Amino acid sequence: MNRHTGFDWAAMMRAGISGLGLPPGEFWRLSPSELLLMLGETGPAPMHRSAFEALAARFPDLRETSFKGDQP
């Protein structure tokens, strides 16, 4: 862990260069977001359709006003 930035560059380099097999030049051209995308998500799973439909039923969109460009 870098004591100045709080970012563990050594772990990121191991993951990108050793884990993903990236050449060092390619690793350093990636943004942190691109590297994290390549490493995969570790967050919660996406919402299933049934959960989305239940949420939509609980909080329906209300069309009380017409916006510019809306067709009747």
Report if residue 1 sits inside a domain: no
Separation CA 65–CA 54 (nearest Å): 25
Per-residue pLDDT band at 58 (split at 50, 70, 90): very high
pTM above 0.75, yes or no: no
Separation CA 45–CA 36 (nearest Å): 16
Report if residue 47 sits inside a domain: yes
Q: How far is CA 35 from the centre of its chain?
A: 11
Report if residue 66 sits inside a domain: no
Report if residue 65 sits inside a domain: no
11 close to 20: Cβ distance less than 8 angstroms? no
Alpha-helix runs per DSSP H in 3-68: 9-13, 24-29, 32-39, 49-58
Domain limits at 51?
9-58
Report if residue 28 sits inside a domain: yes
Report if residue 21 sits inside a domain: yes
Q: How many domains does the chain have?
A: 1
Separation CA 5–CA 33 (nearest Å): 17
Q: Which tens digit of pLDDT belongs to each residue from 13-34?
A: 999 999 999 999 999 999 988 9
